[in-house]
A and B are shown apart, each in its own frame.
Chain A
Amino acid sequence: MWKTIVKRVLILVPQVIILSLLIFLLANFMPGDALTGKIDPGVSPARLEELRRQWGYYDPWYVKYGRWVQNALQGDLGESTAYKLPVLQLIGQRAGNTFWLALMTMAISYGIGILLGIIAGRYQNKPADKAIVFYTFVALAMPTVVFSLINIFVFAFKLHWFPMGGSVDVVYTVGTLPYYRDKLYHMILPALTGGLLYTIGTIQFLRNEIIDYKNSDFVVTARSKGVPEKKIFSRHIFRNALLPVASFMGYDIAFLLGGSIFIEYVFSYPGMGRLFIESILRRDYAVVNALIILFAVLTVLGTLLSDIIMTVVDPRIRIK
């Protein structure tokens, strides 16, 4: 298995190279640059031209790419033109926020998903199942932005249970207990919003699998041998039904770590998803490049993680 993991990680290298090349080419075709439309009475066009030259915007793409690779190899991914900060420092500021929010969202999403999935599968066609299925359809149809806004309106404005946005209140000192408590408090509503929506996949998978296994041969056999129904469910059905859910976990982690653009946007939560969109619009190339590559690495690692999880939970599967 270790061999496979090393191999997979090694494949990453050519993948990242090809990807970074592609990004550079595409960025070259994007209309405008970081200085487009910045002219105003205090900003003279001549100054912007000077900066374009200074920043090497007129160089051909392969020169830019060469320069970028050279710096990247030394651990310098460039500087954000909008934030005027080294890219790594900027992403570092945001990554923590996204990471914790992703973790909480996943916990909620899987917690609810597994619980409701089991109930729905076990009590198929009963009122509980029907209610859960109805919920999945509503959640499936609900745009994230709208659901977020409804939640803010109800829970922040009307009930005053949660703050309306942001990641932490400015009055707390970094590193103190109240600071972390407040961070957690700020995370609940966006995480709940995300969790309630992302959980549908888990519910539906689990429900379908359970229903399938209920009538499968080995379950019928077990039943005919007189194994108690409770044991059949926990031993035979549940463990098998959980497999596909587990296998998707890796992808989910990668997806969530990329940052949920909509939730971060509505909750004014400074994470990586929002940074990504803002940087594209601002033509903040250095940040865009770094983030795309980061997302790519996350996706590959997520897939790998999924495979590893599979081998752990299912002895039939062995990575060769």
Chain B
Amino acid sequence: MKRIFTRIAIFLLIAASLGGCARNNAGNTSGRQQPTLATERKAKEEAAAPADKNVVPAKEAAAKFPTAVTNRNPSIEGGTLKVALVSSSAFTGVLNPCFYEDSYDAQLLGWFSESLLSFDGNFIADQDGAATYDYNVKAKTVTLHMRGGVKWQDGEPVTLDDLVFAYEVICSRDYEGFRFNETFMNILGVEEYHAGKADAISGLKLSEDKMTLVVHFKEFDPSILAGGFWTNPIPRHYYGDIGVKDMAADGKTRSYPIGFGPFKVKNIVPGESVEFESFDDYWRGKPKLDGVILTVVKPELVPAAMKEGKFDVAEFSTQQYQDYMEPANYKYLGQIQTAFSYTGFKLGKWDAARNENVYNPGAKLADVKLRQAIGYAVDNQAIAQYLYHGLRFLATTVITPRHGAYQNTRLEGYVYDPEKAKRLLDEAGYRDVDGDGYRETPEGKEFTITWATMDGENADIIAQFKIQCWKEVGLRVKLYHGRLTEFNAFYEAVEGDDPAIDMYDAAWSTGYNPNPSVLWGRNSAANYTRYTSNTFDDIIKEISSGKAWDGAFLSQKYKEWQTAFFKEAPAIPTLWRIQLVAVNNRVKNYEDISNDIKQTYHLIELTAKEPIK
């Protein structure tokens, strides 16, 4: 998620002074002024539209968009698919699953490299991948079985030794990438290997024929199957003697990387574009397309480029959607992301020595009623509706609808209710004693909340609107340093527990595994709220326990956890989001796999020689 912010940040620095004009000239001919949120909302209120108060259920909003294209036209033989890599910056081109860091490289990797395991709609590994698996809860093992006939793009067979090689690379002491984390440490022998005390990882037991691999885990809970261990092999024979330190910079990663996916890299223009051609020996069958070309394009140019048929597939920004709601030559696919935005409260400190969060009961926002009031005071639906045109919607909880089995649908979320906010503040003892319109602390002292929020798309309007909302219930909120915060400065301050910050707005993507310990756990440095409670600890422990193999139990615990989260409110979930992908009408069998669930790229077909204009 943060990558989105990086992208926005990069764009902003350059376009800060000209951004408005830039967007309008990129084909947005309307050139109309963005009405301020407050005026638009007011107009709506004056019209007394009763529907305004209704929560748009996320699933309903998402149902507006299909997740796959339906195209019944006869397809042509072969053809080249043109995909936009929507980005303001050049892609970095680290085309190796063990080393890449940015999402554009991930998109490129998706066409030629894949995971051995495939994942179902609930993000649980299934048996449709290049390898199948079984597991043993008692022995704490997963056994992988490699399918025969899976080939690397240089013709060599893929074996599980290539997966072992990926582990050896990532767990090596010379490895300088991000991938090495707790999920690796959870495998027996990795700690010793990483420390240089062992020559091999003892928890990886490879069979003679290299087609079966038993992985031994330390802790074994269901999250193991939700992407809880590494399943992307890299070709050992191909990298040969290249050391781990030199692997990322080597030509075998930058210029002619290979995988065992449906397409193989034909040509790369660094930072600009990549040409793929069909890999005829792909294990799921020869791809229908002749090739694919991915080209970097700036977000501002996407609508015009789609209209002119320059691309077949492009991510579409929420901002531009309002002017292109009914395109003639392309369609939108949309899916709820596993991401949410939230307002977090700073309630303690990170103790690096003990590796845990320490809650401070004396923190400025320690009163839970105060925090809830801050949540109820903001009209997030207005933000979703007017600024994001229904492509974002009120988040009722911190588990998104994409993890439907775990989501507590009974929770309503913090639906805008200023009266309730005022009542809560009265109960908590925050009253306006001196009559200046702002409430004072229960002790009668002046009360100001400092709020850190990042610079970005619409950030200014949203910040002013929220401050206004809080003012309406009598809360004085000021921006950290009096302005929106630049990305790097924001994370430095929030990660570092800058005492000047009382609350902050951020976003988080849960990925496959929504286990709350990652973002809200006692031992998570990413738990920027620094809030801890015994209730949380207990439930999180059960979610990560052996008992959780019982699906009903796990789902129940997730729901309990969300209820507890809603009540204790260390953070207020604010918005969920839909990501739109525009797909030209000549494309057939395209599924939005922005979340990488199923590999269906080999099935894509075209129904015309060139993109339809």
Chain A interface residues toward B at CB < 8 A: 30-33, 36-48, 51, 54-55, 79, 82-86, 89, 93-94, 143, 145-146, 149-150, 152-153, 157, 164-171, 173, 261-262, 265-266, 268, 270, 274-275, 277-278, 281-283
Is B493 positioned at the interface, with any CB of A under 8 Å from its CB? yes
Query: In the complex the two chains form, is A32's CB within 8 Å of B489's CB?
Result: yes
State the CA gap A38–B9 with chains docked (Å): 14
Given known contacts A153-B304, A265-B88, A40 and B1 CB-to-CB distance under 8 angstroms? yes
B residues 226-251 in Cβ contact with A at 8 Å: 248-249
**In the bound complex, do residue B488 and residue A261 qualify as a contact, i.e. CB atoms below 8 Å apart?**
no
- The answer to whether B308 and A157 have CB atoms under 8 Å apart is yes
Given known A-B contacts A84-B99, A278-B10, A281-B9, A170 and B248 have beta carbons under 8 A apart: no
Instruction: Indicate with 1 or 0, residue by residue over B69-108, a CB within 8 angstroms of chain A CB atoms.
Output: 0000000000000000000111011100001011000000
The 5 residue pairs across chains A and B that have the minimum distance between CB atoms:
A32-B488, A45-B525, A37-B491, A31-B489, A84-B248
Does any Cβ of A come within 8 Å of B132's Cβ? no
Q: Is B480 positioned at the interface, with any CB of A under 8 Å from its CB?
A: no
A153 CA / B310 CA spacing, docked (Å): 13
Instruction: Decide: B178 and A36 in contact? CB cutoff 8 A.
Output: no
CB distance from B142 to the nearest CB of A (A): 18
B179 touches A36 (CB 8 A): no
Given B176, B296, B310, B489, which contacts A268 in the complex, CB threshold below 8 Å?
A: B296
Q: How far is the CA of A166 from the CA of B301 in the complex (A)?
A: 13
Q: How far is the CB of B500 from chain A (nearest CB, A)?
A: 13
Which of chain A's residues have a CB closer than 8 A to the CB of B488? 30-33, 36-37, 281, 283
What A residues does B88 contact at CB under 8 A?
Answer: 265
Write out the residue numbers on chain B whose beta carbons fall within 8 Å of the beta carbon of A281: 6, 9-10, 13, 487-488
Contact A265 B486 (CB under 8 A): no
State A167–B270 Cα separation when bound (angstroms). 10
**Interchain CB contact under 8 A, A38 and B270:** no
Our pick among B5, B271, B525 for the contact of A37 (Cβ within 8 Å) is: B5
A48 proximity list for chain B (CB < 8 A): 178
Return chain B residues, CB-CB under 8 Å to A168: 269, 272
Q: Does B511 contact A (CB under 8 A)?
A: yes
Query: Of A82, A84, A153, A157, which contacts B249 at CB under 8 A?
Result: A84
Contacts of B300 in A (CB 8 A): 149
B36, CB-defined interface residue at 8 Å: no
Give 6 pairs: A residue, B residue, CB < 8 Å, sorted on A.
A41-B510, A47-B178, A94-B271, A150-B25, A170-B269, A281-B9
**Which residue of B is nearest A283, CB measured?**
B488
Q: Which residues of A contact B296 (CB under 8 A)?
A: 165-166, 268
Which residue in chain A gives the minimum CB-CB distance to B352?
A: A49
Within the assembled complex, what's the spacing in Å between the Cα atoms of A236 and B395? 76
A145 touches B5 (CB 8 A): no
Whose C-beta in chain A lies nearest to the C-beta of B512?
Answer: A41
Closest to A168 in B: B269
The interface size bin for chain B is 35 or more
User: How many Å lie between the Cα of A153 and that of B24 in the bound state?
Assistant: 11
The distance from the CB of B413 to the nearest CB of chain A, in whole angstroms, is 22
A167 to B272 alpha-carbon distance, docked (Å): 8
Asked whether A83 and B93 contact (CB < 8 A) given A38-B178, A146-B21, the answer is yes
Which residues of the other chain, A, contact B293 by a CB distance below 8 angstroms? 170-171
B interface residue numbers (CB < 8 A to A) = 1-2, 5-6, 9-10, 13-15, 17-18, 21-22, 25-27, 88-90, 92-94, 99, 101-102, 176, 178-182, 248-249, 254, 267-275, 293, 295-298, 300-301, 304-305, 308, 310, 355, 486-493, 495, 508-513, 518-519, 524-526
**In the complex, are the beta carbons of A84 and B92 less than 8 A apart?**
yes
Q: Which of A31, A55, A164, A262 contacts B305 (CB 8 A)?
A: A164
B80 to A, closest residue via Cβ: A171
Q: Within the complex, what minimum Cβ distance (angstroms) separates A214 from chain B?
A: 39
Looking at the complex, which one of A37, A143, A170 makes contact with B273 (CB distance below 8 Å)? A170
Q: Are B182 and A143 in contact (CB under 8 A)?
A: no
Q: How far is the CA of A187 from the CA of B89 in the complex (A)?
A: 18
Residue of A nearest to B27 (CB): A153
Inter-subunit contact B5/A268 (CB<8 Å): no
Task: Check if B18 sits within 8 Å of A157, measured CB to CB.
Answer: no
Q: How far is the CA of A14 from the CA of B312 in the complex (A)?
A: 54
A79 to B249, CA, bound (A): 10
Additional 18 contacts, C-beta under 8 A, given A31-B486, A31-B489, A146-B25: A37-B5, A38-B101, A42-B181, A43-B181, A45-B495, A54-B176, A79-B249, A84-B94, A85-B254, A149-B26, A150-B25, A166-B295, A168-B269, A262-B14, A266-B298, A268-B297, A270-B272, A274-B89
Q: A32 to B494, alpha carbons, bound, how many Å?
A: 11
Which of B9, B182, B301, B490 lies in contact with A152, CB distance below 8 A? B301
Assess the B18–A36 pair: CB atoms within 8 A.
Answer: no
- Min CB gap B260→A, angstroms: 22
- Bound: A314/B293 CA distance, A: 54
How far in angstroms is the closest Cβ of chain A from B402?
Answer: 14
Q: In the complex, A283 Cα to B492 Cα: how many Å? A: 12
Q: A153 contacts which of B10, B25, B101 (Cβ < 8 Å)?
A: B25
Smallest CB separation, B95 vs chain A (Å)? 11
- Contact between A278 and B275, CB atoms less than 8 A apart: no
Complexed CA–CA distance, A33 and B492 (Å)? 8
A265→B269 CA distance, assembly (Å): 17
Which among B22, B310, B511, B519 is the interface contact of A42 at CB below 8 angstroms?
A: B511
Cross-interface CB contact of A278 among B90, B179, B298, B486, cutoff 8 Å: B90
Q: Is the CB of B271 within 8 A of A165?
A: no
User: Distance in Å from the Cβ of B345 to the closest Cβ of chain A?
Assistant: 19
Indicate whether A171 sits within 8 Å of B275 (C-beta atoms), given known contacts A39-B526, A84-B249, A149-B22: yes
Contacts of A169 in B (CB 8 A): 273
Q: For residue B273, which residue of chain A has the nearest CB? A: A170
CB-CB < 8 A to A40: which residues of B? 1-2, 508-509, 511
For B454, give the chain A residue with the smallest CB separation: A37
- B491 partner residues in chain A, CB cutoff 8 A: 32, 36-37
Contacts of B5 in A (CB 8 A): 37
Q: Which residues of the other chain, B, contact A149 by a CB distance below 8 angstroms?
A: 22, 25-26, 300
**How many Å from the CB of B436 to the closest CB on chain A?**
34
Are A145 and B18 neighbours in the complex by a CB distance under 8 Å? yes
Instruction: State the CA gap A246–B518 with chains docked (Å).
Output: 63
Q: Taking A37-B2, A47-B181, A89-B249 as contacts, is the C-beta distance between A82 and B102 under 8 angstroms?
A: yes
Task: Give the docked Cα–Cα distance between A173 and B10 (Å).
Answer: 31
Within the complex, which residue of A30, A84, A261 is in contact with B14, where a contact is CB–CB below 8 Å?
Answer: A261
For A144, the closest partner residue in chain B by CB is: B18
Chain B residues near A143 (CB-CB < 8 A): 17-18, 21
Most chain B beta-carbon neighbours within 10 Å: one of A30, A152, A262: A152
Whether the Cβ atoms of B490 and A37 lie closer than 8 Å is yes
**Chain B residues, Cβ within 8 Å of A152:** 301
Q: Which of B249, B270, B525 contacts A270 (CB 8 A)?
A: B270
The answer to whether A46 touches B525, judged by C-beta atoms less than 8 angstroms apart, is yes
Give the distance in Å from the alpha carbon of A42 to the alpha carbon of B518 in the complex. Answer: 9
Residues of chain B within 8 A (CB-CB) of A47 are 178, 180-181
Known A93-B270, A153-B26, A274-B90; contact A164-B275, beta-carbon cutoff 8 A? no
- Chain B residues with CB below 8 A from A262, complex form: 14
CA distance A44 to B177 in the complex (A): 11
Task: Using CB atoms, name the residue of chain A closest to B1.
Answer: A40
The residue among A47, A84, A270 with the most chain B CB atoms within 10 A of its own CB is A84
Assuming the contacts A46-B525, A143-B18, A266-B298, asked whether A41 and B513 have C-beta atoms less than 8 A apart, the reply is yes
In the complex, which residue of chain B has the Cβ closest to the Cβ of A51? B176
Q: How far is the CB of A30 from chain B (nearest CB, A)?
A: 7
The answer to whether B90 and A82 touch across the interface, beta carbons within 8 angstroms, is: no
Chain B neighbourhood of A157, CB < 8 A: 27, 304-305, 308, 310
A145 to B: closest C-beta gap in Å: 5
Measured in the bound complex, the distance between the Cα atoms of B495 and A43 in whole Å is 14
B96 nearest in chain A by CB position: A84
> Would you give the shortest CB distance from A181 to chain B, in whole angstroms?
15
Q: In the complex, what's the smallest C-beta–C-beta distance from B526 to chain A, in angstroms?
A: 5
With contact pairs A149-B26, A265-B14, A270-B271 given, residues A164 and B487 touching in the complex (Cβ less than 8 Å): no
Known: A153-B304, A166-B296, A171-B275. A31 touches B180 (CB 8 A): no
